[in-house]
Structure 1
């Protein structure tokens, strides 16, 4: 029984990985047949693990949330202001680079899905929490309303859609897009005595 469960869990993971890989390659929701083919299983195997493609989308989103939160937790928010800005922006840029197709799929399919809407809220809250953690030194110098507005301005700045415009529409390199974000965040944050 344990061997069967392990194989089933492995199959489930390969199906999720196939779904995510296909999304990265093409900005269209993959079909069950394409997912099955990429994973090396039958369409029946897909639907034995997931009742429908919506359930697969939710599971894939949960997988990405877990990976992203682990990556963020591994990077402490320490160092000088410029170091914190650089590390935050580079990490956020890598996240956007890697998961922009999934973000687009989530938004395209959220209308009738409380599950996907909830995941989008969680993602946005994670970004806000990270901003508050990384820039705590600067934010604590502001009164609460101004602090909240600054955090929300930075969240809007480092959003997936912002990254998509910088990289796609304006054709900036990864480094150039990061430089735009770093400059803007530095301008949004208040000056403090700890800015060295």
Structure 2
């Protein structure tokens, strides 16, 4: 005669099943995060269009498994860019925004812009390229640009308040564009200028526009 399963046996089986399920979920999340981190690190090292093989090898997962976690490469790129740029935002923070002398505020914004731009320059290049076909990335790039303009308005509120509205808008646009990704990348990559030279150019620009 076969014995019926005891309550203890059933409870043990359920616990074992839950543990196995939790383990698979954890492994899936860990592998997915590893793929995202792999793509981010490859881009930051200058590989702007890494292959699935390179991404998978860096993440230490099988090549086929990459598409278990993402619909396609665009889905992976979108997720990685959103993750990397969101995590990098604290680098753009200016300590004591809007406070101190003009010279102090100029140095503060230069330090913040160099921190964020040197860290994200390859990521932003990829984001700009992807923005033409991925609306979510396009909105993300636009949001970052809007945040930059708002930061300049708050940081130089004293000087901007003394200008006519049209001039105020022009100055804010010039500062945010010249000290944004495109301005930095042009000086760094096209003109081959060092960060120190770029910082000197920014100082000159801000003093001419704000004094």
TM-score (norm 2): 0.80
1:148 to 160, 169, 176: 169
Match 1:94 to one of 115, 118, 125: 115
Aligned 8 A contact 1:68 1:95 in 2? yes
- 1:22 is matched with 42
Whether contact under 8 Å (1:36, 1:43) holds in the other structure is yes
CA drift of 1:157 comes to: 0.7
In structure 2, relative to structure 1, the CA distance for the partners of 1:15 and 1:143 (3 Å cut) is same
Query: Per the alignment, do residues 93 and 73 of structure 1 end up closer, same or farther by CA in structure 2, a change over 3 Å counting?
Result: closer
Question: Quick one: structure 1 residues 33 and 27, their matched pair in 2 at CA, closer, same or farther if it must change by over 3 Å?
Answer: closer
Report if the CA contact (8 A) 2:78-2:137 is conserved. yes
Aligned partner of 1:52 in structure 2 is 72
Give the gaps of 5 or more residues in structure 2: 1-20
Q: Choose from 157, 182, 188 the match for 2:203.
A: 182
Tell me if the contact between 2:121 and 2:185 (Cα under 8 Å) persists in the aligned partners: yes
Alpha-carbon distance in structure 2 between the residues aligned to 1:72 and 1:100: 13
1:68 correspondence with 2:88: yes
TM-score, normalization by structure 1:
0.86
Give the counterpart of 1:38 among 58, 75, 79: 58
**Residue 82 of structure 1 corresponds to which residue in structure 2?**
103
Question: Do the aligned residues in 2 keep the contact of 1:96 with 1:163 (CA within 8 Å)?
Answer: yes
Tell me the distance in 1 between the aligned counterparts of 2:53 and 2:24: 24
The alignment's C-alpha RMSD in Å is: 2.0
- Distance in 2 of aligned mates of 1:144 and 1:64: 36
Whichever of the two has the greater Rg, that structure is: 2
Greater relative contact order (Cα 8 A, min sep 6): structure 1 or 2? 1
Give the Cα–Cα distance (whole angstroms) in 2 for the partners of residues 42 and 132 of structure 1: 48
Cα deviations by residue, 1:129-187 (Å, 9 ceiling, x for unpaired):
21112112211222322211111011111122221222223322222211111221221
Q: What's the secondary structure of 1:142's corresponding residue?
A: coil
Give the conservation status (yes or no) of the 8 Å contact 1:24–1:102: yes
* CA drift at 1:118: 0.9
Aligned pairs (5 A) from 1:119-158: 119-158=140-179
Moved more, 53-62 or 137-146: 137-146
